Structure 1
Amino acid sequence: MKKILFILTLLVFCFENTNAQKHVSVLGTKFSLIPPDGFTSASNFSGFQNAENGSSIMITEIPSSYFIVSKGFTAEALKTKGMILKLKEKVDFKGKEATFLQVSQAAYGTTYLKQILMFGDENKTIMINGIYPDSSKEIESEIKKSLFSTIYNDNQNDNPFDAVKFSIDIKETDYKFVKYLSGSLLYSEDGNLPTDKGIFIVSTSVGKFSEFNHKQHSIERLKKLPNGELSKIKEVNPIVIDNLNGFEIIANGKNADSQDEIVYQVILYNKSEYYILVGQASNDQIQNLEIFKKIAKTFKLK
């Protein structure tokens, strides 16, 4: 469980117009829901967004027991991630037990409110996260209604590569695709998750950002990785991949078991959003670092 949460923390937070009376498929999943008025399908995560007020609804599928994951969402645990728990209660969802939470979190100078509906079984957890700024609190009831409208369709196309707008090439490496988690593609050296081998994750930023110091942001973003505050940066280099400018960082870090590991991070900036590529390995560190660099250079926007 510790390794699952460790990997999940790595993850950073195409229908044109939705009809609030109809279920709309969530790309990359077998779920559909009724989004609130003004919400359209997101291109950088599995869910919907309202660009005008900065609100979003995101679905994440976690390969771990719902009963274990839901217990881990305590006030104390959330506080370590900068979140304040307002409400946590057991609810009925489609005739089965579910957990509903209300949380607040400050980010980028704004206070965001979150409603989370969590359900699943012994093998997986489905987490539907409705996020909206405190200044748009009037949509709170519509967000909650949307979360509870979620349905599952086994016949729905959930091809993860159709749900992202980027690609990487791992053909000449031992790395294998493992999992799609809400806009992020996860790869591992042995094809397992969790794993004791190297992992590589490609994600897109959630939300839009104004101009900022990209180099400083890259360093700060590295420090936000699990145990990132323990990482010792060796190199910070400017890099250009697929005509996108960014920064490459190489660091020595610690994994979930406090073992030494190599950390490789590339962030590429594209106007008001960015793409983050992270490789981590405690085994064969020199070899894996070269593999991470090789994979990163294959990044392409679709």
Structure 2
Amino acid sequence: MLRKLIAAIAWIPLLAAPAKLKAQVAKEVPSLVTFPDVGVAILQPSGFEQAESFYGFQQPSTGASVMVLAIPGPFAEVTQGFTKTALAEKGMTLHSKELTQVKGQAGVKVYFSQQAYGQEFLKWAVLFGDTKRTTMVVATSPKSHAPRLRNSLQSVLQSVEPAKTAASPLPFKIEEGSLSQVQGVATGNTALFTRDGMVPVATPNDPMFVVALSIGDVRVGNRKEYARRRLFETAQTEIESLQSTTPVTIDGLDGYELIAIGKDQKSQTLLMLYQVMLFPDEGGYILMTGMVGQQQAKNYLSQFKAMASTFSHNSK
């Protein structure tokens, strides 16, 4: 699960997309904004606006953002995984990591950076949690704007407070089929499905299906090539052969379905990967990815296809 979280962090610089998410001003501390789904309250930085497609704030003029998210997973295990090696696997550089306190709870502060889109992004994060769930607040700024934004973003991280949780629906619907949705994931734009509804999966052979809305005003030229490139960027996998690329239309949105054979980088387990990428006219994309051990490919390919076909926006 940590590897999936790190893969998600790599895309945090991307901003803006449809689907408004729930946040509210904390009554007890008017200067803080509470994100009930995540269970955290933070200060809204000056000059930043409420993000519409992820939990947090954004400043489109600079590409800076503050994102809050939660995942099911022990705090100790998740934070131990934030190493130079783990971050380097996704093109990120760890600069520092130290213990901290979040309103009396044990926490960790991490400072790292990432090269993306021809520039360097600096990231400051605070993580806290318990034996079941880990909450993260990450502030991101292009390096060129960091001298002006650094103090403001670090003030946001210093303001982090745990808050009561109250889950709200995702901005899309999809039928589970034979898989079960993992509870406790709170990013505002992602749903994760496994055989027993638990993460991490026992082995790379076990099926996993992920549905995610892009968190960026992504500029897509050649859609077919973009979908292909995204498949080859699937976290912690090595794509060995692309088996097929097929145009699809789901929920009135055009896109491409791709099927490939690859390997899990760590265990070298043979995998079947299934990807559907849909492209709304207003920009961004919907990404649905299924993966399972090659020995179970025949059993799960049809199930991945069936799940993807049920995708629909809640607004419809």
TM-score, normalising length from structure 1? 0.87
- Aligned partner of 1:168 in structure 2 is 174
Label 1:15 to 1:288 Cα distance change in 2 as closer, same or farther (>3 A).
Answer: closer
From 216, 225, 235, the counterpart of 2:225: 216
What is the identity, as a one-letter code, of the residue corresponding to 2:2? L
Q: 1:95 to 1:34 in 2, by over 3 A?
A: same
Structure 2 residue 280 is matched with structure 1 residue 274: no
CA distance in 1, matches of 2:171, 2:246: 25
Identity among equivalent pairs (%): 29
Give, in whole Å, the separation in 2 of the partners of 1:189 and 1:112.
36
Cα drift, residue 74 of structure 1: 2.1
Contact conserved, 2:125 with 2:139, CA < 8 A, in 1?
yes
Q: For residue 178 of structure 1, what is the aligned residue in structure 2?
A: 182
- Quote how far apart the aligned CAs of 1:150 are: 2.0
Q: Tell me, yes or no, if structure 1 residue 144 matches structure 2 residue 154.
A: yes
Task: Check conservation: 1:185, 1:201, Cα contact below 8 A.
Answer: yes
Query: Offset of 1:123 from its aligned partner?
Result: 3.1
1:292 and 2:304 are equivalent in the alignment: yes
Q: Which residue of 2 aligns with 1:132?
A: 141
Matched, 1:248 2:257: yes
How many Å separate the matches in 1 of 2:248 and 2:131?
43
| Aligned positions of 1:77-226 closer than 5 A | 77-137=86-146, 138-154=148-164, 156-159=165-168, 161=169, 164-170=170-176, 173-179=177-183, 180-182=185-187, 183-196=189-202, 197-226=206-235
**Are the counterparts in 1 of residues 239 and 260 from structure 2 also a CA contact under 8 Å?**
no
Contact 1:223 1:231 in 2 (8 A): no
Q: Distance in 1 between matches of 2:88 and 2:181?
A: 32
Equivalent in the alignment of 2:16: none
Q: Given the superposition, is the C-alpha separation of residues 76 and 16 from structure 1 closer, same or farther in structure 2, using an over 3 Å criterion?
A: closer
Kindly state the Cα deviation for residue 222 of structure 1 after the two structures are TM-superposed.
1.2
Question: Aligned equivalents of 1:152 and 1:52: distance in 2?
Answer: 30
Q: Distance in 2 between the 1:249 and 1:10 partners?
A: 20
Per-residue Cα deviation, 1:224-256 (whole angstroms, up to 9, x for no partner)? 213332342101112221222211110122346
**1:61 and 2:70 equivalent?**
yes
Give ranges in structure 2 of 5+ residues lacking alignment.
13-20
Aligned CA distance change for structure 1 residues 126 and 28 (closer, same or farther; 3 Å): same
Change (3 A) 1:285 1:198: same
Preserved CA contact (<8 Å) 1:17 1:39:
no
Q: Secondary structure at the match of 2:101?
A: strand
- Root-mean-square deviation (CA, aligned residues, Å) is 2.5
Partner of 2:18 in structure 1? none
Q: CA deviation at 1:17?
A: 10
Q: Is the 8 A contact 1:54 1:207 kept in 2?
A: no
The SS at the match of 1:230 is: strand
Q: Would you say the 8 A contact 2:256–2:278 is kept in 1?
A: yes
Answer yes or no: is the 8 Å Cα contact 1:222–1:228 preserved in 2: no
Q: Would the aligned equivalents of 1:186 and 1:202 in 2 still touch at CA under 8 Å?
A: yes
* Aligned length in residues: 293
Instruction: Specify whether residues 122 and 61 from structure 1 end up closer, same or farther in structure 2 by C-alpha distance, changes over 3 A only.
Output: same
TM-aligned CA deviation for residue 292 of structure 1: 0.8
Contact 1:120 1:126 in 2 (8 A): yes
Does residue 73 of the first structure (1) align with residue 82 of the second (2)? yes
- 236, 250, 270: which one aligns with 1:260: 270
- 1:287 alignment partner AA: N
Paired with 1:251 and 1:149, the residues of 2 have a C-alpha distance of 45
Q: Is the 8 A contact 1:268 1:276 kept in 2?
A: yes
Q: 1:226 to 1:15 in 2, by over 3 A?
A: closer
Taking the aligned partners of 1:144 and 1:28, their CA distance within structure 2 comes to 23
Q: What residue is the counterpart of 1:229 in the other structure?
A: 238
